[in-house]
Amino acid sequence: MENRHISGILEEMTVEDVERLDPNLALVPIGSTEPHGPALPYGTDSFSVEAKCYESIKRANFRGARAICLPVQKISLNNNFYGLRFACRISVPVFMSMVRDIVRFLEGEGIKRILIANSHGGNTDVLKAVLRDMAGEKGIFLGLLPPGPALPASSGLLGKVLEQPIPAGGEHGGEWETSNMLFLKPGLVRKDRIGVYPVNHPKIDSLEECLVTHVKPWHLHLPASAGGDSRKASSEKARAIFEEGVEAWAGLLEELSKAPESATFPF
Amino acid sequence: MENRHISGILEEMTVEDVERLDPNLALVPIGSTEPHGPALPYGTDSFSVEAKCYESIKRANFRGARAICLPVQKISLNNNFYGLRFACRISVPVFMSMVRDIVRFLEGEGIKRILIANSHGGNTDVLKAVLRDMAGEKGIFLGLLPPGPALPASSGLLGKVLEQPIPAGGEHGGEWETSNMLFLKPGLVRKDRIGVYPVNHPKIDSLEECLVTHVKPWHLHLPASAGGDSRKASSEKARAIFEEGVEAWAGLLEELSKAPESATFPF
Amino acid sequence: MENRHISGILEEMTVEDVERLDPNLALVPIGSTEPHGPALPYGTDSFSVEAKCYESIKRANFRGARAICLPVQKISLNNNFYGLRFACRISVPVFMSMVRDIVRFLEGEGIKRILIANSHGGNTDVLKAVLRDMAGEKGIFLGLLPPGPALPASSGLLGKVLEQPIPAGGEHGGEWETSNMLFLKPGLVRKDRIGVYPVNHPKIDSLEECLVTHVKPWHLHLPASAGGDSRKASSEKARAIFEEGVEAWAGLLEELSKAPESATFPF
Amino acid sequence: MENRHISGILEEMTVEDVERLDPNLALVPIGSTEPHGPALPYGTDSFSVEAKCYESIKRANFRGARAICLPVQKISLNNNFYGLRFACRISVPVFMSMVRDIVRFLEGEGIKRILIANSHGGNTDVLKAVLRDMAGEKGIFLGLLPPGPALPASSGLLGKVLEQPIPAGGEHGGEWETSNMLFLKPGLVRKDRIGVYPVNHPKIDSLEECLVTHVKPWHLHLPASAGGDSRKASSEKARAIFEEGVEAWAGLLEELSKAPESATFPF
Amino acid sequence: MENRHISGILEEMTVEDVERLDPNLALVPIGSTEPHGPALPYGTDSFSVEAKCYESIKRANFRGARAICLPVQKISLNNNFYGLRFACRISVPVFMSMVRDIVRFLEGEGIKRILIANSHGGNTDVLKAVLRDMAGEKGIFLGLLPPGPALPASSGLLGKVLEQPIPAGGEHGGEWETSNMLFLKPGLVRKDRIGVYPVNHPKIDSLEECLVTHVKPWHLHLPASAGGDSRKASSEKARAIFEEGVEAWAGLLEELSKAPESATFPF
Amino acid sequence: MENRHISGILEEMTVEDVERLDPNLALVPIGSTEPHGPALPYGTDSFSVEAKCYESIKRANFRGARAICLPVQKISLNNNFYGLRFACRISVPVFMSMVRDIVRFLEGEGIKRILIANSHGGNTDVLKAVLRDMAGEKGIFLGLLPPGPALPASSGLLGKVLEQPIPAGGEHGGEWETSNMLFLKPGLVRKDRIGVYPVNHPKIDSLEECLVTHVKPWHLHLPASAGGDSRKASSEKARAIFEEGVEAWAGLLEELSKAPESATFPF
């Protein structure tokens, strides 16, 4: 047993693995189950975040981190998808309470550094609101990782490998997501349905000029539930992006886990 | 595309698959992530319910049902596990709200027959409370499938294949669960840690004599987080139980999906 | 004053009685107000639980227990009774919050052993959910007594005195409940309306075979709001059952109240 | 059956009684269980409101009203009693939700005229807040009857029969409440403990001069949990007050029940 | 900087002003935005409470108090105004939670003496319910100042200067409120629309005789959203009332702020 | 009356003004009351948003819009300010409920186009979460305007007039906010305390590289509660920014109010 490497993937560990790892950092992956157009499966976001988190945490722990990864939350927020079918959703207040409860559970386990890894764009604002809500809890660091390819700020990779910039053009179910599923779950991609799907925009010009935030009814924005041109998607593109992203996240987990305790962390 | 069989497993389907299946029945699997003793992984309940639901729904739909299965909810209730580490949990009111929201989401999709398949004993009473809570919503049938091997009422299989009856002796992390993981996730079982683990009981005799329900602090009841003798566990035992269980559930899904609409369903 | 025996029935006590008793155990009775068929009053469950709790606690305290009994909560859960008239009800979340508040109030009074005595079948699952909800509160023992005749596990009395087994046949408003009201509140029983009332069952066979829990719309299940054959009901039958039940509960209260303090109680 | 007069007391009625009465007005009695000094029982408020409501509704229905009275809610609000023992209480938001649920239940039964009869001073402000909360529900009339002797506005009886005016001097557990219990529940009154108990007042004069509302910690205000001089209390005083009060309430119930339906009721 | 007098009006102070004042008492003004008839602005209640609080606190602090005044909450409760336009409102439970949060925020700042100054009659009962709700929080004094002219109890000024008594006749938008706006915000008063507006009352006489509290749908009670005769309103009347009121409140703030700390305050 | 221009500022309008304007668009301003360093008042955000909203709506209505502006909500979110004094705050769930209630109130008034104008950075994410929460309410357009100078996307003005870019350097209480208060509330600015205040940043580099969102404890980030160099602040700079911003917002309000009704608005 001594020699077995402990992954940090909680659902695959035993109670004795947990005791040996003695985690001080937790990663909370949040996906979604919702339409991704004619070519991609409903689970696209969940598959994506699970793969990236599980691989990152294994690498970080191999390098000495003490990080643990919860299982993926696969049902989250999609109430702007009411015009499309079976976009799984719970209400915003309940989702927030659920995430808050998970954070409090982790606090109860003695974890003071918590990262939420969210792969679904519809969750981002609400997760930031949870961060605000818990900002008064002293002594806990709670961070949120961005959805999408989520490459490091300094990376130039996306511009090199993708034809379609993100988000404009490389929309939901677009080139990157299609590449990613071709890489992670090729058996679930309907290759014959990869194509170009329309992207609609509001007609009131001053909304954009005045930087007004609003939530788009998805069936008006992307009637096919995916948008953009994915015909240049490939497994190879996703592999390169995945590898660079996982390395960055593994480094983050390692740095956070190894940083000394401090009352003013991360300042 | 015409010829492709549609599984009913939502996270693996595309938006066009959903439109073709046009479901009238939903299955909502609920697992858990919590200590299962030195031999079994934290994800035991989640792996178990996913396998059984996914296989059942595929068979039912192959026979003409129109059933859809949501992804597994892997974080649920474990607040009596506070004496053991990393038993993932949210609070009871939030869990109830989450399940209620999922049922309401399904209602909004036009689904009037909903089955919750729960594999974690710690959730059962609370899910029954959700059923009570929603009992005033006319026109919806909401049922709950039992955890554990969940063989048909008329089956005698358990008594034949298991040495340890359930629950007494064949406790949490016991012979059946160990067999089941050896069958479903052999790579995650620590075979060298399969053994006999203690089971403790309350000392106040009149509690049992008066049929008093109470929730056991799990570390007092099962200090190793698993209990009973699992040395006779085997993949074969689980395979037989799984096959009989899946057939029964497939039959249930088929009957429920095909039953005619009625204002007094299921009466 | 020294010589006066203190009953433990809070609503009949003075502030000085409470100080003298100095309770360490509380009993929380929960009844219901809902249709019980043409012969029995709406208050059947409330009258039943009040009589049993009040008599049990008097006997227990006479034998040296320090137990206190709150007044009966007469409005509880009946939202599956929407097809019958004036089944008093509050919603499940509010009922749960109310019970939780009562338990917390008792904790604030220094009571660490609390028994809920519930006489209404529609409350049982939800009260178990409250027990789950509060299972994380260390140092409190919270138990739930069963509804109905609630004789000791080892008793064979019911089989001897009743014609109609419980629940099948001896349903809601059936032989035992009719006997009990003839015993406790004969003036409120419409003897001319005692008779045989129909009991309906679901038509989907696999629901029962697969052990599916669901909440029956009561007007479909028992159209007269009572069911079974109560013609053999008698006050004498109830008296015998009541006496045996009260003795058992008095013994339980005594044992619980006198058991030494312990961090692992009741283990 | 034809000739039996139907009382309107729900817990004493059968389902067929309810159908025959076909109520259009409901009375919701709310009591309390809390210390009432050395002479009076904890249930003083509950006994008082039950007696008055039950007698009023019987008289009103005898005169042709169609009114129904729910059972008494005996646990309500006492969180300013934290310095005295076993003042039963739930929290303000839960109490409000409970009352709101009861009103909604009654609305669901087709009742559009609802009176809450509350006998506990600690509930009054909060029940008024519930009235505010539900003031946006069109078509429902929801009224609140005052606690205490609650004689008609035009009555001069209190001044004639009581030595101690209410509230000043005739405080909680004072002359009127003691008289009332001697009338309603003489066996529960500790006559040897009837006497004079102290009443304390705040020391900051400008609070009263500026009409500042604040909630008194009860143990600072009435250290014995009762206050004032009750030595002149008698059953006869209470009988006269009760009779006049019951007649007034019966008249109110009758007028409300018989008033024609109107979209602008009671205007 | 040393010499600058610090007003206590938080929104006009800097962080260093707050540190220098080091408050021990807080004033929380609550107004409303709702129709006040054809002559007065929607902000009448907000303007009124802001003027009185700001002037009172300045005077109190000038005399040595350490009091701080929050900004006015201008949206509060008006759900009985559904028949009139744009009466700004949030729901009762949310309003209560908001006030509770503000009180808890002040407690967190070390403030143990808190006065709510409310100028809107529709808020009074609910604010009293908040006081009840927080009555279990030991060590905090939470008081509520009355709406309207709110002169000292011993004042006889109103009877001298007003033609129309309050509330009867000098109703919402009546003589006093009109005078007050002529004094505080003359530019916002439509002087040509000052006049006599109708006041309606319920038709069920026993409601008043039995002292039944109910919330009036405002459009039935005051169809013009103001009522009574305001033709004698004048700025001078309001000035006198304002001056006497401000002096009384300044005295109250001073006495409360200077009173010694005590575990039993204000007893 | 015919000739009077109606501003759209609700608190300054009468009930007849509202009827004449008959609004179809609402503006909901949200400010904050919190420390803004040694030079600026706590009310900085509230003063800023009120001035901009009130001026914009007057101009829009003058040009034919039918827009109404609610009063400013001055207490909002600041729970990351726990290390500084008197940053007024309510909790995130209550704030969200309050905003949701206001939106629902406006919906009840028939308003289908609603803009929230928020001037406090600490509210932005949470207001976006409210937008998500309400994204399932069909037929309502709910938008959020950005805090800060909020000039049009195409404007280059900021870069021309400010020395310190926003946000880096031109932080909270920085050059723009100081200019703005010098312009709007010069009497409340402590000119002798305008200066350079420190801005601290986290020490974990990978947080920024991995684009991790987290909420900074404000006292660690800006120990003086303001940060950056404000010595070049001037009223003139703010005037130019204000004028350009107000014009843009007036145009937005006009376009939104005049756009034809449509089931797919703004698409």
Planar angle of CA A257, A263, A267, nearest 5 degrees: 75
d(CA B84, CA E147): 55
Mean pLDDT of chain C: 95
The answer on pLDDT for F121 being more than 80 is yes
Q: What is the DSSP string of A188-246?
A: G--GGG-SEE-----S-HHHHHTT-B-PPPHHHH-TTS--EE-TT--HHHHHHHHHHHH
* pLDDT level of residue A165 (50, 70, 90 thresholds): confident
User: CA F54 to CA F70: how far, in whole Å?
Assistant: 9
Q: Does the ipTM exceed 0.90?
A: yes
- The chain C residue lying nearest B257, using CA atoms, is C204
Q: Are A15 and B33 in contact (CB < 8 Å)?
A: no
- Contact status, residue F144 vs residue F118, Cβ threshold 8 Å: yes
End-to-end CA distance of chain C: give it in Å, rounded: 39
The whole-number pLDDT of residue A3 equals: 52
State the residue for tokens 């006319």. Answer: B138
Of F80, F77, F84, F71, the C-alpha closest to F35 is F84
Report percent pLDDT > 90 for chain C: 93
Report the sign of the C-alpha dihedral through residues F206, F207, F208, F209, in that order.
positive
pLDDT given at position F171: 80
Q: Give DSSP secondary structure letters for E140-188.
A: -EEEEE-STT---TT--HHHHH-SS-TTTTS-TTSHHHHHHHHHH-GGG
**DSSP readout, C73-129?**
B--B--GGGTTSS---B--HHHHHHHHHHHHHHHHHTT--EEEEEE--GGGHHHHHH
Comparing alpha-carbon positions, the chain D residue that sits nearest to E204 is D266
| Interacting residues of C125 by C-beta distance below 8 A, sequence separation 6+ | B125, B128, B129, B131, B132
CA A108 to each of CA A96, B82, B85: distance values in angstroms, whole numbers, following the listed order: 18, 9, 10
CA distance E199 to E216: 12
Chain F neighbors of A213, CB-CB under 8 A: 128, 131, 143-144, 146
Residue C135: CB partners within 8 Å, gap ≥ 6?
B79, B80, B215, B217
C-beta separation of D158 from D150 below 8 A: no
**Whole-number pLDDT of residue B170:** 66
Size of interface C-D (CB pairs under 8 A): 162
Beta carbons of C129 and B131 less than 8 Å apart: no
In terms of CA atoms, which chain D residue is nearest residue E214? D143
What is the percentage of chain A residues whose pLDDT exceeds 70?
Answer: 97
- Taking Cα atoms as reference points, which of B177, B114, B118 lies closest to residue B147? B118
B91, A100 in Cβ contact below 8 A? no
Put simply, the chain B residues between 167 and 206 with a CB less than 8 A from any chain A CB are 188, 190, 192-193
Least CB-CB distance to A132: which of F92, F154, F207? Answer: F92
CA pseudo-torsion sign E172, E175, E178, E180: negative
Two tokens, residue A267: 């300042």
What six digits make up the tokens of B56? 């059942």
Residue A109 near residue B84, CB atoms below 8 Å: no
Kindly state the average pLDDT of the residues A166-177: 81
Q: Spell out the residues 6+ positions from residue F100 whose beta carbon is closer than 8 angstroms to its own.
A: F130, F133, F134
**pLDDT for the residue numbered C168:** 55
- Tokens 């209190």 correspond to D158
Residue D25 has a pLDDT of: 98
Q: How far is Cα E159 from Cα E151, in angstroms, rounded to an integer?
A: 11
Please give the model's pTM, rounded to 2 decimal places: 0.97
Verify cis geometry, omega within 30 degrees of 0, for the bond prior to C167.
Answer: yes
Which chains share 3+ C-beta pairs under 8 angstroms with F? Answer: A, E
Q: In the numeric block, which tokens belong to residue D209?
A: 């001069």
- B122 with B78: CB under 8 angstroms? yes
E164: left (phi over 0), alpha (psi -120 to 50) or beta: beta
Task: Nearest chain E residue to D199 by CA: give it.
Answer: E267
DSSP string computed for B147-194 = STT---TT--HHHHH-SS-TTTTS-TTSHHHHHHHHHH-GGG--GGG-
Check whether C11 has a pLDDT greater than 80: yes
User: Left (φ > 0), alpha (ψ -120 to 50) or beta: where does A118 sit?
Assistant: beta
Q: Using the predicted structure, report yes or no on whether residue C102 has a pLDDT greater than 60.
A: yes
Confidence of residue E166 (pLDDT cuts 50, 70, 90): confident
Q: What is the pLDDT of residue F165?
A: 81
Whether B38 sits inside 8 A of A19 (CB atoms) is: no
Q: Which two tokens stand for residue B121?
A: 């004993």
Chains A, F: CB contacts within 8 A come to: 192
Give CATH superfamily name and number for F10-258: Creatininase (3.40.50.10310)
Residue F67 phi, psi (nearest 5):
-115, 145
Give the distance between the most distant pair of CA atoms in chain F: 64
By the 8 A CB rule, do B125 and C131 touch?
A: yes
Mean pLDDT of chain A: 95
Mean pLDDT to the nearest integer, C191-215: 96
The pLDDT, as a whole number, for residue A168 is 56
How confident is the model at residue F168, as a pLDDT?
Answer: 55
The pLDDT of residue F166 is 79
Residues of chain B falling short of pLDDT 50 = 1-2
Domain segments of chain C as ranges: 10-258
Spans of chain D, pLDDT less than 50? 1-2
- Cβ pair C41, D12 in contact under 8 A: yes
Tell me what the pLDDT averaged over chain F comes to. 95
> Distance (Å, rounded) from C-alpha E210 to C-alpha D145?
7
Dihedral angle at the C-alpha atoms of C161, C165, C170, C172, nearest 10 degrees?
Answer: 110
With CB atoms and an 8 Å threshold, state whether D206 touches E79: no
Residues 241-260 of D with CB under 8 A from E: 248-249, 251-252, 255-256, 259
Residue C170 is predicted with a pLDDT of 66
* Predicted pLDDT at C1: 43
Asked whether the beta carbons of residue F212 and residue A129 sit closer than 8 angstroms, the reply is: no
Please count the other Cβ atoms lying within 10 Å of the Cβ belonging to residue E191. 10
**Start-to-end CA span in chain B (Å):** 39
The pLDDT of residue E267 is above 60: yes
- How far apart (Å, rounded) are the C-alpha atoms in residues C146 and E49? 56
Helix%, strand%, coil% for chain C, nearest 5: 45, 10, 45
Residue E169 scores a pLDDT above 80 = no
Interface contact flag, F210 A249, Cβ < 8 Å: yes
Q: Answer whether residue F253 shows pLDDT above 90.
A: yes
Residue whose C-alpha is closest to residue C175's, from C224, C218, C225, C228: C228
Looking at residue E257, its pLDDT comes to: 98
CA–CA distance, C258 with B93 (Å, rounded to integer) = 34
Burial label for C111, CB within 10 Å (0-12, 13-18, 19+), is: buried
pLDDT for E1 equals 43
CB contact under 8 A, A252 and F135: no
CA distance E29 to D168: 31
Q: What pLDDT digit, counting tens, does each position of A106-158 carry?
A: 999 999 999 999 999 999 999 999 999 999 988 899 999 999 999 999 999 99
Best mutation target, D12, D27, D28, D42, to test chain C (most C CBs within 10 A): D42
What pLDDT was estimated at residue D1? 43
User: What is the DSSP code string of chain D?
Assistant: -TTPPP--BGGG--HHHHHHH--SEEEEEE-----BTTTB-TTHHHHHHHHHHHHHHHHHHHTT--EEEPPPB--B--GGGTTSS---B--HHHHHHHHHHHHHHHHHTT--EEEEEE--GGGHHHHHHHHHHTTTSTT-EEEEE-STT---TT--HHHHH-SS-TTTTS-TTSHHHHHHHHHH-GGG--GGG-SEE-----S-HHHHHTT-B-PPPHHHH-TTS--EE-TT--HHHHHHHHHHHHHHHHHHHHHHHHSPP-TTTT-
Peptide bond into C266 cis (omega under 30): yes
Phi and psi (nearest 5°) for D194?
-70, 135
CA dihedral sign of residues A209, A214, A220, A221: positive
Contact F68, F109 (CB under 8 A): no
Residue in A closest to B17 by C-alpha: A38
